[in-house]
Structure 1
Amino acid sequence: MRSSVLLLFVGIHLAFAGKHSLKYFYTSVSGDENFTAIGLVNDVQFMYFDINTTKASPKTEWMRENEESDFWDSQTYSLIKQHDWILNKIWTKSAGEHTYQITYGCEWNDETGKTNVFRQYAYDGEDFLFLDLKSDKWISPMMQGFRAQETCNNATDRLVHWKHYLEIDCIDTLKKLLQLGKSSLEKTVSPQVSLLQKNSSSPVLCHVTVFYPSDITITWMRNGQELYKNVKVGNLLPNEDGTFQKTVTLQAEPDEWRKNEFSCVVKHQNKTIRKTLTENEIRTNNETAAPVDMTVVVVPVVILSLLLLLIIAVVGYLVYQRKLKSGYVPAKPSLSGSENSVQSSVVA
Structure 2
Amino acid sequence: MRRFHRPQSNMKPCVTLFVLGMLLHAASATIHSLKYFYTASSQVPNFPQFVAVGLVDDVQMFYYDSNTKKAVPKQDWMDKVSEGDPQYWDRNTQKTLGSEQVYKVNIEIAKQRMNQTGGTHIYQNMYGCEWDDQTNEVSGGNYQFGYDGEDFIAFDLKTETWIAPRQEAFISKLKWDEDKARNAYLKNYFTQECREWLKKYLEYGKETLMRTVLPEISLLQKSSSSQVTCHATGFYPDGAMLFWTKDGGELSEGVDPGEILPNHDGTFQMSVELDVSSIPPADWHKYDCVFQLSGVKDDVLTKLDKAVIRTNEKPIPAIPLAVIGAVAGLVVLLAVLGLVYVCKKRNGMI
Residue 41 of structure 2: aligned partner: 29
252-261 or 86-95, which moves further after superposition?
252-261
Q: Could you tell me which of 70, 74, 97 is aligned with 1:59?
A: 74
What is the rounded CA distance, in whole Å, between the counterparts of 2:219 and 2:167 in structure 1?
A: 47
**Number of matched pairs:** 277
1:79 Cα deviation after fit: 2.0
Residue 155 of structure 1: aligned partner: 179
For structure 2, the 5+ residue unaligned runs are 1-20, 23-27, 319-350
What SS class does the counterpart of residue 264 from structure 2 fall into? coil
Could you say if the C-alpha distance between residues 80 and 98 of structure 1 is closer, same or farther in structure 2, counting changes exceeding 3 Å?
Answer: same
Q: Could you tell me which of 40, 43, 58 is aligned with 2:58?
A: 43
What is the rounded CA distance, in whole Å, between the counterparts of 1:290 and 1:128 in structure 2?
A: 63
Could you say if the C-alpha distance between residues 178 and 289 of structure 1 is closer, same or farther in structure 2, counting changes exceeding 3 Å?
Answer: farther
C-alpha contact (below 8 Å) 2:40/2:107 kept by paired residues: no
Residue 300 of structure 2: aligned partner: 273
Q: How does 1:186-265 map to 2 (within 5 A)?
A: 186-250=210-274, 252-256=275-279, 258=281, 261-265=286-290
What SS class does the counterpart of residue 264 from structure 1 fall into? strand
Residue 343 of structure 2: aligned partner: none
TM-score scaled by structure 2?
A: 0.69
1:143 Cα deviation after fit: 4.8
Could you say if the C-alpha distance between residues 289 and 139 of structure 1 is closer, same or farther in structure 2, counting changes exceeding 3 Å?
Answer: farther
**Greater relative CO (CA pairs within 8 A, separation 6+):** 1
C-alpha contact (below 8 Å) 1:257/1:277 kept by paired residues: no
Q: Computing the radius of gyration over CA atoms, which structure comes out larger, 1 or 2?
A: 2
What SS class does the counterpart of residue 37 from structure 1 fall into? strand
* CA RMSD after TM alignment: 3.0
Residue 82 of structure 1: aligned partner: 99
For structure 1, the 5+ residue unaligned runs are 1-5, 8-15, 292-348
Q: Per-residue displacement from partner, 1:94-131 (whole Å, max 9, x unpaired)?
A: 53223222211112212122212221222222233222
C-alpha contact (below 8 Å) 2:222/2:312 kept by paired residues: yes
Could you say if the C-alpha distance between residues 201 and 159 of structure 1 is closer, same or farther in structure 2, counting changes exceeding 3 Å?
Answer: farther
TM-score scaled by structure 1?
A: 0.69
What SS class does the counterpart of residue 190 from structure 1 fall into? coil
What is the rounded CA distance, in whole Å, between the counterparts of 2:269 and 2:316 in structure 1?
A: 27
Could you say if the C-alpha distance between residues 90 and 217 of structure 1 is closer, same or farther in structure 2, counting changes exceeding 3 Å?
Answer: same
What is the rounded CA distance, in whole Å, between the counterparts of 2:58 and 2:259 in structure 1?
A: 14
1:171 Cα deviation after fit: 0.8
C-alpha contact (below 8 Å) 1:198/1:285 kept by paired residues: yes
Runs of 4+ in 1 over 6 A off after TM superposition: none
1:231 Cα deviation after fit: 3.8
C-alpha contact (below 8 Å) 1:221/1:263 kept by paired residues: yes
What is the rounded CA distance, in whole Å, between the counterparts of 1:289 and 1:132 in structure 2?
A: 65
Q: How does 1:118-137 map to 2 (within 5 A)?
A: 118-137=142-161
What is the rounded CA distance, in whole Å, between the counterparts of 1:108 and 1:206 in structure 2?
A: 32
